[in-house]
Amino acid sequence: MDLERSPLARPFPDLQGIDGVTLRVARARYKNWDRADLTFAELAPGTSVGGVFTKSACASSEVELGREQARLGKGRALIVNAGNSNAFTGFRGREAVEQIMAQVAEALGCEPSEVFVSSTGVIGVPLPKDKAREGVAAVLEAEPCGWEEAASAIGTTDTFTKGAGASAMLGENRVALAGIIKGSGMIAPDMATMLGYVFTDAAVEAAFLQEMLSKANAATFSCITVDGDTSTSDTVLAFATGRAGNAPLTSWDDTGADAFYAALLQVCRDLAHLVVRDGEGAQKFIEITVTGAESDESARRVGLAIANSPLVKTAIAGGDANWGRVVMAVGKSGEPADRDRLSIGFGGTWAAKDGQPLADYDEAPVAKHLEGQDIRMDVDLGIGDGRATVWTCDLTHGYISINADYRS
Q: Would you name the residues annotated as active-site residues?
A: 193
368 is a site residue for a second copy (CB under 8 A): no
340 is a site residue for a second copy (CB under 8 A): yes
Task: Write each residue from 44 to 63 as x if it is in contact with a second copy (CB under 8 A), else as -, in one continuous string.
Answer: ----------xxxxxx----
Q: Which is nearer to a second copy, 276 or 329 (CB)?
A: 329
Is the Cβ–Cβ distance between 39 and 153 less than 8 Å? yes
107 is a site residue for a second copy (CB under 8 A): no
31 is a site residue for a second copy (CB under 8 A): no
Cα 172 to its chain centre, rounded Å, is 31
Q: Which is nearer to a second copy, 146 or 310 (CB)?
A: 310
43: exposed, middle or buried (C-beta count within 10 Å: 0-12, 13-18, 19+)?
buried
Q: Quote the crossing angle between the two packed helices 296-307 and 323-332, to the nearest 10°.
A: 130
Three-class SS state of 129: helix
Beta bridge partners of 48: 74, 240
Task: Write each residue from 154 to 193 as x if it is in contact with a second copy (CB under 8 A), else as -, in one continuous string.
Answer: -------------------------------xx-x-----
Q: Which is nearer to a second copy, 46 or 324 (CB)?
A: 324
Q: How far is the CB of 356 from a second copy (least distance, A)?
A: 4
227 is a site residue for a second copy (CB under 8 A): yes
The DSSP H or E segment spanning 349 is strand 349-353
Q: How far is the CB of 379 from a second copy (least distance, A)?
A: 12
383 is a site residue for a second copy (CB under 8 A): no
- Site for a second copy, residues 232 to 291, rule: CB under 8 A: 232
87 is a site residue for a second copy (CB under 8 A): yes
- Site for a second copy, residues 117 to 136, rule: CB under 8 A: 122-125
318 is a site residue for a second copy (CB under 8 A): yes
CB atoms < 10 A from the CB of 400, how many? 12
Three-class SS state of 163: strand
Q: How far is the CB of 359 from a second copy (least distance, A)?
A: 11
